[in-house]
A and B are shown apart, each in its own frame.
Chain A
C-alpha cells in the first residue's frame, strides 16, 4: 500500500447525504454528493427510512460520479474508508454494506471511521495551511452539536461537550416551522434575520447560567430556546398582534450563535488552545460565521472554516480521515465492524 500519498475513496451515509469523495493524501480529487433533502421537506425533518432508501439508490451512481470527477479507476485506489457512526443506523448500514463489498471485490484495505472526526479531518485538505494541534473543533449540524478538543486527528480526540437535547440545526428547523417557513429552516431564518434587530427580543441562552456552567460548561441545550420562541410568538398571535418575524428570526439566530461561539471561545481560553475549527452544515449560517470571526479576532484565536461544501456531510472528509490513518501507519479495520449510531468521538477508527 502507498502510505506516502495514498489514493483513498470515502463513503458517507450517516444522514441524508450520500457522499463519495476521493483524495490523494492531502489533495481533494472528488466530492460527489446526492442529497435526499427535498424528499424530507414535506415531513419537516429527516425521515430515517426515506433517507436510507435514497442512499441505496444513490450509492453506486455516486461512486461512479466520484471516479469520473477524480479521473481515476477503482484499481488505482490504495484504500477505502467508510463512516461507521455516529448517525442514523439504517442509513449507515447502506454505506457499510457497500464499502465492505467494494473493498473485497477490489482486494483493498478498508478503514471504518468516525463521522464527527471526519468533519475535523477535512481540514487537512488543500494547499494552504492545515489543521494544527491542539485545536478546538465546534461541529454544528442538524444532527450534532459537539465541541471537541483535538490533540491529534488519528489518535487523540476528546469530547468536551455536546447538546443535551436538540441539535442547533434542528432548532433552526423547528423555529422555522413556528414562523411558517419551509424546511430546512436555516437559510430562511438567516435571510429574514438579516432584516431584523438581533437585540429586539432577549431569548434565553441555554446552559449559560452559573449553576448550569458548573455541570455543563461545554454542553448545549436548544430545546428551551425553541419553546421560548414558540411562547413569544403565540402570545403575540393571541393578542391579535402582528408577529415581527424578522426580529424574531434575528433574535433567535443571535441566541444560537452567541451560545455556540461563546462556549467554543470559553473552551479555547480555558484550555489555552489558540485555534478554533468550525464544521457542519450550520456553518452556512452567516451570523455563526461572523460572530466566530469577531470573537476569535478579539481573543487572539486563529479561526479555520473549511469551504462550505466540505463543512456539510460529504465523502471527501471520510476519505481525508482514511488517508491520514493510512499515512500514519494504522492498520485497516477488521471485517466485522458494523454501523454504530452512537459511536463515541474517541473511537476515531473502528477496529
Chain B
C-alpha cells in the first residue's frame, strides 16, 4: 500500500494497492494553493482508503516536471512523510501518471504528454506504449520546449492540466512488482534558477 503525492500541476493525493488498485484519490485543481491544501488532501486520501499511516509500505513522489514553487511542496511532503514512517520514497516522473491512465483505459501506440511550464513554454514526454507488466515506456523526455517546437507531432497528444496521483502510485506498484529500478530522487526542474551573477556595483553619481 502506497501513498502517492503530486504537486506538479494542481495537488493530487492517492492511496494505491497492488492488488486493490487505486483505493482513493483526491484533487485540488488550483495551481496556487499547494501548501494550503496538501495536509487536508493527505488526510482525506488516507481516510477514504481507510488506512492509517503506519500501514503504508512506501510513499510515491511525483518529481515533475512542473512549476518549481508548487512542485517542491509535494516533494517536500512526500520525502518527509516517508522519512517519518521509515519507509522508502519512490520517485516517479509526473508525466508517467498521465501515460499510465491513458494506456490503462485500453489505448495503444505512441503518446505525447504535454503540460504547462509557464513563461510560454511546455514540458513534454514521449511514450511508445506499455511493456508486459503494463508500465508506460517513456522513449524521450521529460523536456522543455516552446509550444511550436514540441517534437513528435505524429504521436497521440494529451495536454494534461492535472496529474492523477493514483496513476503515479500504480506506476510505482507495477515497477516495484516487476523489479524495475526507480528513478533518482531528484526534482525534474529542467530549468536553471533565473539569475545572473553580479557585475559589481553600479554608479550612483551621474
What is the interface of chain A, defined by CB distance below 8 A to chain B? 42-45, 47, 49-50, 52-53, 55-56, 59-60, 63-64, 74, 89-90, 92-107, 110, 174, 177-178, 180, 227, 230-231, 234-235, 238, 335-339
Contact = CB atoms under 8 A, between A and B. Distances in A.
Contacts of B78: 101
Given A94-B73, A339-B35, A101 B81 contact: yes
Contacts of A227: 204
B53 A98 contact: no
Given A52-B68, A93-B72, A230-B204, A64 B197 contact: no
Secondary structure type dominating chain A contacts: helix
Given A49-B193, A230-B204, A231-B204, A94 B76 contact: yes
Interface stretch (B36-44, B95-103, B129-137, B138-146): B36-44
A145 to B, nearest CB: 21
A174 B189 CA distance: 31
B205 interface: yes
A96 B35 contact: yes
Those 3 A-B pairs whose CB atoms lie nearest each other, nearest first:
A105-B84, A44-B198, A100-B39
A150 B88 CA distance: 45
Q: Which of B7, B75, B78 has the most CB of A within 10 A?
A: B75
A90 B193 CA distance: 13
Nearest to A40: B195
Interface in B181-206: 187, 189, 193-198, 200-201, 203-205
B156 interface: no
B72 A90 contact: yes
Nearest to B86: A74
A53 B76 CA distance: 10
Contacts of A45: 198
Contacts of B81: 101-102, 104-105
B79 A337 contact: no
Nearest to B69: A90
B77 interface: yes
Contacts of B187: 53, 56
Nearest to A60: B83
Most chain A beta-carbon neighbours within 10 Å: one of B37, B43, B84: B84
A50 to B, nearest CB: 5
Interface string B80-98: 1101110000000000000
A104 B43 contact: yes
A67 to B, nearest CB: 10
A92 B72 CA distance: 11
Interface centre among A64, A92, A97, A230 (most CB of B within 10 A): A97
B74 interface: yes
B39 A104 contact: yes
Nearest to A51: B193
A52 B195 contact: no
A226 to B, nearest CB: 9
Nearest to A63: B83
Contact of A60 (B46, B79, B204): B79
Nearest to A230: B204
Contact of B39 (A93, A106, A177, A336): A336
